[in-house]
Amino acid sequence: MSSFTDLFWLFALAAGIASWYRLTRAREVAVKAATALCKRHGLQLLDQSVGLRSIRLQGVDGARRLERCYGFEVSEDGQSRQAARLWMAGNEVASFSLPLSGSPELETVVATDSVVHTGNVISLADRRRLH
């Protein structure tokens, strides 16, 4: 009986380590995605870091998938700090929110493919009307 209990705790520890490793790797991918988004939109990624804010179950095309939300701060001029968000499904950007030019409000866009281009995104309001 003792060996079964020890084996259970060993598997639980291994699962915890594997989960931690996957989340750490996902965070590294999110930093690269946030850096690319900031560069594409003429913003500066402050502190060169992102932080996991939440995990949500999102319905897309009738299927459910887990999306991780990362928060980070950006600046247009290097003086002000504004909040931004990035939602990732796997290693792909699902959507992101960046501050509007000259305003602290966030504008959210949804990625239509794994490589986000400004001409290839739709607003969140349009996406919600479609679904």
Query: What is the reported pLDDT for 129?
Result: 52
CA 11 to chain centre: 29
Q: Could you report the per-residue pLDDT of 30-62, keeping only the tens digit for each?
A: 999 999 988 888 888 888 889 989 988 887 777
Q: Could you report the per-residue pLDDT of 57-91, keeping only the tens digit for each?
A: 887 777 888 889 999 999 888 788 889 999 988 88
| 111, pLDDT greater than 60 | no
pLDDT tier at 16 (50, 70, 90 boundaries)? very high
**C-alpha distances out from residue 31 to 3, 4, 36, 111, Å:** 42, 41, 9, 17
| Burial profile 74-106: b = 16 or more Cβ within 10 angstroms, e = fewer | beeeeeeebebbbbbbeeebbbbbbbeeeeeee
Chain position carrying tokens 């950006």: 74
